[in-house]
């Protein structure tokens, strides 16, 4: 059993195994289930993710009308070829948005680690798929690797926006994705940890301020930027760039920041973008009354 990233990396390196394999073995030990059962469950998660991406790219609209259709716009822009950032990054962004738009439209998604941050891991996975051409087994391992880092965050900090702000949700998801991208691309366990650290420390302090209390604005676009963050951080780690602050210390810093973050900025819709004039107007339009003022 590993409790933190340092122990996870040490286990993988000392046993000459991938982080995905360490996570599978831990799940077997913790749950008592067979390898076949655990892998089958993750394959089912992968299937849910793929269907959500496909549905989102076909175009969906949320009941509130706040979100929907942006994944389609990004793909159309990408196809024109006049984009400024990389095609894989934009593809990851579009697929992250697609997943979260499906979530907002009450569709089926796989929480990774939460519903509000469910776009980053599948968005990046199905984007790098076109570059790395992984087998299905490799794609399943991608999810186990991201899960290993999510396990550490959940047990040493938080993955809840209500407890730690959006840094704990999209921040964690982005770090998980970055680590998994590195492993799929052939990076070392240490490089996976560096990617997680680089990603998360660049999202520290991110607040959770959902407009009208709905997981739509700014959640969907934060998944988009989280996916881009993960892609760039993975490249930095693969290039040999390291984080001066160790991954476990970055996770601890995220936890402490979340503890000191005002309640108004932790999923209560009392502050941040939710408290802007437009945010309040949208809230009143959707619910016919301001939830904060009771008017």
Per-residue pLDDT tens over the stretch 259-274: 999 999 999 999 999 9
- The rounded distance, in Å, linking the Cα atoms of 167 and 158 is 9
Predicted confidence band at 102 (pLDDT cuts at 50, 70, 90)? very high
DSSP per-residue codes, 101-160:
HHHHTT-----SS-GGGTTHHHHHHHHHHHHH---HHHHHHHHHHHHHHHHHHHHHS---
Instruction: Summarize pLDDT for 160-198 with one digit per residue, the tens.
Output: 999 999 999 999 999 999 999 999 999 999 999 999 999
What value does the mean pLDDT of the chain take? Answer: 97
Cα(210)–Cα(97) distance, integer angstroms: 16
Q: What DSSP state is assigned to residue 272?
A: G
pTM, two decimal places: 0.96
In degrees, rounded to 5, the angle at the alpha carbon of residue 208 between the alpha carbons of residues 217 and 112 is 85
Give the whole-angstrom CA distance, residue 133 versus residue 39: 20
255: tokens are 């936890």
pLDDT in tens, 119-160: 999 999 999 999 999 999 999 999 999 999 999 999 999 999
- The domains of the chain, with CATH numbers, are 5-287 (1.10.4100)
Q: Give me the residues paired with residue 117 across strands.
A: none
In order of 28, 96, 143, 242, the CA distances from 123 in angstroms are 27, 4, 12, 24
Q: List Cα–Cα distances, 198 to 93, 118, 186, 234, in angstroms.
A: 19, 20, 18, 9
């Amino acid at each position: 059993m590993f409790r933190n990233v340092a122990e996870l990396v040490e286990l993988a390196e000392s046993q000459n195994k991938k982080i995905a394999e360490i996570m599978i073995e831990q799940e077997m030990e913790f749950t008592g289930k067979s390898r076949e059962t655990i892998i089958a469950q993750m394959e089912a998660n992968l299937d849910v993710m793929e269907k959500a991406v496909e549905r989102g790219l076909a175009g969906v609209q949320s009941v509130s009308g706040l979100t929907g259709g942006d994944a389609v716009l990004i793909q159309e822009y990408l196809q024109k070829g006049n984009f400024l950032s990389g095609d894989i990054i934009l593809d990851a962004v579009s697929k992250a948005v697609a997943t979260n738009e499906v979530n907002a439209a009450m569709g089926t998604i796989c929480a990774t680690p939460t519903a509000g941050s469910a776009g980053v891991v599948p968005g990046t996975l199905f984007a790098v798929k076109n570059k790395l051409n992984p087998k299905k087994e490799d794609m399943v391992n991608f999810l186990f690797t991201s899960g290993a880092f999510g396990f550490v965050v959940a047990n040493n900090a938080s993955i809840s926006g209500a407890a730690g702000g959006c840094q704990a949700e999209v921040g964690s998801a982005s770090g998980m994705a970055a680590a998994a991208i590195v492993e799929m691309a052939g990076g070392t366990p240490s490089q996976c940890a560096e990617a997680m650290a680089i990603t998360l420390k660049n999202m520290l302090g991110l607040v959770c301020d959902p407009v009208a209390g709905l997981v739509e604005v700014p959640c969907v676009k934060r998944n988009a930027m989280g996916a881009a963050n993960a892609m760039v951080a993975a490249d930095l780690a693969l290039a040999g760039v390291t984080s001066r602050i160790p991954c476990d210390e970055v996770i601890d810093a995220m936890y402490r920041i979340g503890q000191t973050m005002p309640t108004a900025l932790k999923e209560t819709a009392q502050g941040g973008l939710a408290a802007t004039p437009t945010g309040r107007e949208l809230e009143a339009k959707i619910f016919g009354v301001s939830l904060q003022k009771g008017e």
